[in-house]
Amino acid sequence: MIIAVTGAFGFIGSNIIKALNEYGYTDIIAVDNLTNGAKSKNLRDCDILDYIDKEDFIQAIANGDYDNQIDYISHQGACSATTEQNGRYMLKNNYEYSNVLLEYAQRLEVPFVYASSAATYGDKNEFIEERQYENPLNIYGYSKFLFDPVVRRYFKNGLASPVVGLRYFNVYGQNEWHKERMASVAYHHFNQYQQTGTVKLFEGCQGYASGEQVRDFISVHDVVKLNMFFLLNHLNDTEEVSGIFNCGTGIARSFNDLALATVNACRADEGKSILTLNEMIKQGILEYIPFPSDLANRYQCYTQANLTNLREAGFKEEFLSLEAGVSQYVSHLLKSSKV
């Protein structure tokens, strides 16, 4: 069993490879662009079969070099920068790349799971995996949105092998350190608090009070659990499921809640008392900053995954609460900072 994982050295890809190893799978082809060589540390405790550069992989697929060699594809590779404005780069990296792999997977009858995004919904207030609920606000969201209709045409015309798209909501967790500005808010809050004793949130916008914008925050542990659910379905010859599914907890929480969870997890490690939101504001631990002008009209103030289709597909496990997930993540970050 040979499994190809794209974006292998990145945030979610590296966590998926770690999980594959835990299930006993080590024949993994790690595909990525390692221009940022520091990302290699995300796989230093993992076992793989081989590494290939992303561009070389695309060419090898075109040449037929991997025909009848790959048994499963986990396509996590993408540019996830929501502030990126180079549409040509974004579409080539996210849309065209995905098309190449999907065509290969269908031609060779290889199960294919790919990373989509809640950014496809844009400013909609319902998050259901159907066209009428999709209205991306930026080129990143559009690059993800554009691929889903391609997949839906395969669904309509008949699949040669299973295809699953997972629309990731706001993912946080270990191995995201290299994402810089695009790392999760939990990661930024942790570092702000460690460095300055304060955390910063956006002031109110679009009718939401300061810090009261809400998102569906999901731990990378749950994201991996969901990826493994579909992988094991395919490998165990159980009912083969295809579709586009939301990957979130189904519960929207405010950025204030996230800040509270992060700071209190840090304070617990310090042996300090837990604070309320008002106490944090009063003590100057939580500050509100002006809303960035470059995000105007391109920012989702509300997301919440509808899990109906996912539950009907057979995934019944519960997700970590925001407090539990952030507490786990803070423990990991504190441990890593002491190594």
Catalytic annotation, pick one of 140, 154, 187, 329: 140
Report H helices in 71-212: 87-90, 97-108, 139-157, 185-196
- Between CA 18 and CA 225 the distance in angstroms is 12
Catalytic residue (one of 18, 179, 200, 225)? 179
Residues 6+ apart with CB under 8 A from 337: 194
Residue 58 phi, psi (nearest 5) = -60, -45
Give the whole-angstrom CA distance, residue 135 versus residue 123.
6
105 vs 85: CA distance, rounded Å = 30
200 is catalytic: no
How far apart are the C-alpha atoms of 322 and 221, rounded to whole Å?
12
Count the Cβ atoms, other than its own, within 10 Å of residue 101.
22
Q: How far is Cα 240 from Cα 243, in angstroms, rounded to an integer?
A: 10
Report the amino acid identity of residue 91. L
Helices 139-157 & 97-108 angle (0-180, nearest 10): 20
- Alpha carbon 308 to chain centroid, angstroms: 20
Contact 72, 51 (CB under 8 A): no
140 catalytic residue (yes or no): yes
**Strand, helix or coil at 92?**
helix
Amino acid type, 230: F
Tokens found for residue 214: 């809400």
The DSSP call for residue 96 is I
Q: Indicate the Cα dihedral angle 33, 85, 152, 54, nearest 10°.
A: -10
Residue with tokens 């080539």: 92
Catalytic site residues?
140, 179
